[in-house]
Structure 1
Amino acid sequence: MPAQYPLSPQFMLLSNITQFSPMFYLTGFPGLETIEHWIFIPFFLMHLVAISGNCFILIIIKTNPRLHTPMYYLLSFLAFTDLGLSVSTLPTTMGIFWFKSHGIYLAACQIQMFCIHSFSFMESSVLLIMSFDCCLSICHPLRYSVIMTSQRVVRTGLAVIFWGPVALVPLVVLLKTFPYCGPQVLSHSFCLHQEVIQLVCTDTTFNNLYGLMVVAFTMMLDLVLIALSYGVILRTAARLASQEEQLRAFQTCTSHLCAVLIFFVPFFFLSFFFKSSRMDY
């Protein structure tokens, strides 16, 4: 185990006596232990802003009948997934920063990873639907109101919300049946399936292949389709007669493109950080 991940005697004792409910060690941010109380403040404020802001959006859309349109329904789905991700990562991150609570039992770890991955898949799919919405509004404006009806958007959004959790159930449930060995150290401040599965002492071929398949047919496929949608948008915008019309077309997609970058860039950064951190073992 790397030297930068020291385990306390209390954690080692609990880990040894909880054979049937393994305890994992969340490292948080190695090297910043002396200033974790100060880091807590901006992280807590960011989570507070994210939670209150998304709740405000949901309440406004719910209570204002004039906002019961396809665009605002999609915005409410996006706010719901953002709210879920913030709430899912908040407990263990704040616990590490403020209470030095690095230990987490397998059951709690399963619940957290299920929520994080589910809401991540949901948000990816919602962003895909929003890209189709932008594509239709620019490429087929006369047919937009016929295709993107409120009823169709709500049904599609609900299907997306249920698809993510259902696809993840086998992965999370199987983790309870696996034996774990060695230092049960996780390199983040929250639980992720791709990292927990590395600590299993038996064959995990099914989990690895199924997990790869789920990611490929959700987030990776969503990203490819989003890119194709923007390709169609760029081609249509290039055919517009005036620069003013082209600028108006690009302004329609600016907020959505920012949301796509904000979601997918940290996702790939987290994956790269995960791979780099595992090379230390």
Structure 2
Amino acid sequence: MLNSNTTDINSPSTFILLGIPGLEAAHIWISIPFCVMYTIALLGNFTVLFIVKREQSLHEPMYYFLCMLSVTDLILSTSTLPKTLSIFWFNSREINFNACLTQMFFLHCFLSIESGIFVAMAFDRYVAICDPLRHSTILTNTVVVKIILAVVLCNGILVLPTPFLARWWPYCRTNIIPHTHCEYIAVVKLACGDIRVSSYYGLSVVILVIGMDVFLIVVSYTQIVRAILRLPTKDARLKTFGTCGSHLCVILAFYSPALFTFLTHRFGHNVPLPFHILIANVYLLVPPMLNPIIYGVRTRQIRDRLLQLFNHKMT
């Protein structure tokens, strides 16, 4: 282990993750809800993937995007939580420098990809409601694959420089990260020298990705609301808007803690560090846990297929 007080750490071989500083005595207790949420996220997302694969009637654009969302949630939660639990349970705080940078890339890359998937799902809802007769011709399987590839490649390219920027700096202060995982700014702050380039790039990516995605989602739903308000009856308006309910719920579950985490990290200097780290972890666990539950409860096709599977096993 490297000496954390040294002033000549130019290329550390390992970092030390502290977990949640100030709450070390409660790590075991905190790990219980974390582990439960992670287990629910794994079971829920694998169940969605299984049901969509088995049910031929679900082979539609909306469910393809939902499968991509489930894959993203699985990668996102798995990239951080196993290490977090090893810190809580076994006090295994060391993480290899390259492993730290890899975790950093996967974390930020798939957060960006998840945001992009929400835009794709909003576009699907827009076409389904505003131009339903052409939905199958506009969103063909080929178009869906192209959209998914565009989301993955664009966000991957945007996030790719972050681990290289983090590797670029010499680390001559400390190798201790006061966090449960290798979050980009938490790592870069340990570097010596002027890190404004890294800081500004990270901020620019967040503003570009989240800002553009939220803007496109708002534009899509503005058009959707206009189309719904033109429907002749109240029942028709409620039924049509209900088809967007699941998507709106997962959007709120994702962007609300994301906005809070971003604002407190950049401007909430008076927010206690343990609280900030807890929220950052909740942000990575709650959406992957809630997304399959929300879609399972609110989407009749998935709910019915799941009930059929349970009834089949019981008989």
**TM-score interval w.r.t. the shorter chain?**
0.7 to 0.9
- Paired residue for 2:48, among 57, 64, 70? 57
TM-score (norm 2): 0.78
Corresponding position of 2:188: 197
Question: Does residue 246 of structure 2 align to residue 248 of structure 1?
Answer: no
CA RMSD, 1 decimal: 2.5
Given residue 48 of structure 1, which amino acid in structure 2 is its aligned partner?
T
1:1-281 equivalence runs, <5 A: 12=3, 19-21=10-12, 23-275=14-266, 276=268
Cα shift at 1:103: 3.3
Aligned length in residues: 272
Given residue 195 of structure 1, which amino acid in structure 2 is its aligned partner?
A
- Residues 254 and 36 (structure 1), Cα distance of their counterparts in 2 relative to 1, 3 Å cut: same
The answer to whether the 8 Å contact 2:129/2:224 transfers is: yes
Q: Quick one: percent identity of the two aligned structures?
A: 39
- Residue deviations 1:11-55, cap 9 Å, x none? 746977965225434333333322221221221121112122212
**Matched residues in 1 for 2:269 and 2:74: separation?**
28
Cα shift at 1:229: 1.4
5+ residue gaps, structure 1, are: 1-9
Given residue 206 of structure 1, which amino acid in structure 2 is its aligned partner?
V
- Residues 64 and 237 (structure 1), Cα distance of their counterparts in 2 relative to 1, 3 Å cut: closer
- Residues 49 and 15 (structure 1), Cα distance of their counterparts in 2 relative to 1, 3 Å cut: farther
Matched residue of 1:199: which SS?
coil
- Residues 272 and 181 (structure 1), Cα distance of their counterparts in 2 relative to 1, 3 Å cut: farther
**Matched residues in 2 for 1:140 and 1:158: separation?**
24
The answer to whether the 8 Å contact 1:187/1:277 transfers is: no
